[in-house]
Chain A
Amino acid sequence: MSQPISVTELNRYVAAYLEKNEHLNAVQVKGEISGLKAYASGHLYFTLKDKNAQVSCVMFKGQAMRLRFKPVDGTAVVVTAKASLYDRDGKFQLYVSAMTADGIGDLYLAFEQMKKRLDDEGLFDPAHKKAIPRLPRAIGVVTSPSGAVIRDIIQVLGRRFPNFRLQLIPVQVQGEGAAASIAAAIDRFNDLGSVDVLIVGRGGGSLEDLWAFNEEVVARSVYRSSIPVISAVGHETDFTICDFVSDLRAPTPSAAAELAMPVRSDEEDKIERLENRLHHSLSRRSQLENQRLDALLSRPVLAQPLKRIETEQRDLAALVNALRSAEQAQLSRSERNFAVLSGKLDALSPLKVLARGYAVARDAQGKSLVSTALVHPGDLVDVWLSDGRLECTVNQIRERSFS
């Protein structure tokens, strides 16, 4: 401790000292990310902390690019890093070469992050989902050409619909390039337009094995497919992004085949039942119409069409008879009246009275003399008899005294 050293020398010394330590050269540290800054350069700067302490971290672009999930503040991670001193600032920091999600695993975290992002973007929107056709003229399958999946699908289809038509685009379902080959196959089927429905899938496996079906490129191709897509990835309990984007999720590849194709004999039975109902319905209708016609024909007006006329004729005859007798009665009554009246008239005729010996006296003016008071002695009176008249002069007037 004699000669003072420069700051630069000190920092270099400490840095070299730290880097010599094997334990600090590749140390795994767990903590929570905070104050994360992602620079345009691609480098990530953040602080890793626990309850009591914190340490600065840097992850350079080359390593950061390989991250499967997107680190954000609050993410619990395990980093693999080299501990050293940034000599310019005299700052102790970790140079991170790898980072995994702590606890849940980074694939799971990546899955959750992708799911949320695509969901927010609307890729899982039920309104976008297309109906699976009831009878696809051909089924497109995107899976591995070897293995149980295609075999199961072919077997199930054969059982349900012996003359099914299937086109397979063989793809790699796991490993490097798998996602791209799956997406390309879906796009190819859409270009060709040769099938009515697509089954995209693979058998069960680890999250790692199924990973291709969680990748964005697959999700995008499923979303833009105009052919309805049935997703059948893994087992019943496995869910992939592809399942969420697809138009229908099948729990297994066999189930996908069942969802894609009806049972032919079932369909034939249904058609036959409908045909029977057509026949039955029409024959019932025609029976009904016949019955109605019979009922109409048996109504009196149609069964005995002349009856009404006969009745009317009878009624008319009766009326005519009644009219005639009424007329007759009226006539004889009139005749009788006439005889009586002419009898009376005859009896009242003054000539008849005169013939019996009575006379009518009249004055010069022709007025009948009904009282002695109407004449005076000396008056000329005419006395009418039945066969002529007497011109007389009144000599004397005697009032009635017949006693």
Chain B
Amino acid sequence: MMENMNTTPSADETQDLSYEQAFSQLEMIVSRLESGDATLDESVSLFQEGMGLAKICAGKLAAIEHQISQLLVNEDQIVIEKPFGEQDV
């Protein structure tokens, strides 16, 4: 735990984080930083790691591409994705 908190996760690791994982890590870092238990150096890296996680979280919110589609199976039993709109309702 300690080692992880003091090292900024690599790009690969942060890619794999789910939103809730990134968010709860961020929450943990904030409370650790607020506790004042960390050394000054640790505090600085906690801050940097926290800011990185906040960016990841916000990025995940923005990364979802708005799309409403329906999955239909054609005569060859192949799934095709077609847009689905209000006119279909």
Which B residues touch A278, using CB under 8 A? 29-30, 33, 47, 50-51, 54
Known: A133-B19, A145-B89, A267-B61. A163 touches B51 (CB 8 A): no
B interface footprint on A139-169 (CB within 8 Å = 1, 0 otherwise): 0000001110011001000000111111111
39-89 of chain B: CB within 8 A of chain A: 40, 43-44, 47, 50-51, 54, 57-58, 60-73, 79, 81, 84, 86, 88-89
Task: Tell me, yes or no, whether A73 is within 8 Å of chain B by CB.
Answer: no
State the Cβ distance, B78 to closest chain A Cβ, in Å: 12
Given A147-B89, A151-B89, A281-B34, residue A166 in contact with residue B69 (CB < 8 A): yes
* CB 8 Å contact bits of A9-30 with B (1 = contact, 0 = none): 0000000000000000000000
Q: Does A119 contact B (CB under 8 A)?
A: no
The answer on a CB contact under 8 Å between B51 and A135 is no
| CB–CB A168/B33 < 8 A | no
- Closest B residue, CB atoms, query A289: B40
* A310, CB-defined interface residue at 8 Å: no
Complex Cα–Cα for A245 and B57 (A): 32
Which residues of the other chain, A, contact B58 by a CB distance below 8 angstroms? Answer: 268, 271
Q: Kindly supply a per-residue 1/0 record for chain A positions 149-193, scoring 1 wherever the CB is within 8 Å of any chain B CB and 0 otherwise.
A: 011001000000111111111100000000000000000100010
A316 part of interface (Cβ distance < 8 Å): no
Q: Interface residues of A toward B: which range?
A: 35 or more
B2-19 contact mask (Cβ, 8 Å, vs A): 1 or 0: 000000000000000011
Residue in chain A with minimal CB distance to B44: A282
A328 to B54, CA, bound (A): 82
CB contact under 8 A between A170 and B30, given known A145-B84, A267-B61, A278-B54: no
Do residues A277 and B34 form an inter-chain contact, with CB atoms below 8 A?
yes
A162 and B68 CA atoms in complex are apart in Å by 11
Closest A residue to B54 by beta carbon equals A275
Report chain A residues within 8 Å CB of B29.
278
Q: A285 at interface (Cβ–Cβ under 8 A)?
A: yes
Q: Which of A107-145 contact B (CB under 8 A)?
A: 133-135, 137-138, 145
Other contacts beyond A145-B88, A281-B30: 10, CB < 8 A: A146-B88, A151-B89, A165-B64, A192-B71, A271-B23, A271-B57, A275-B54, A278-B30, A278-B54, A289-B40
Can you list 12 pairs linking A and B with CB atoms under 8 Å apart?
A: A134-B20, A137-B63, A138-B67, A154-B68, A163-B62, A167-B71, A168-B84, A268-B61, A270-B23, A277-B30, A278-B29, A282-B43
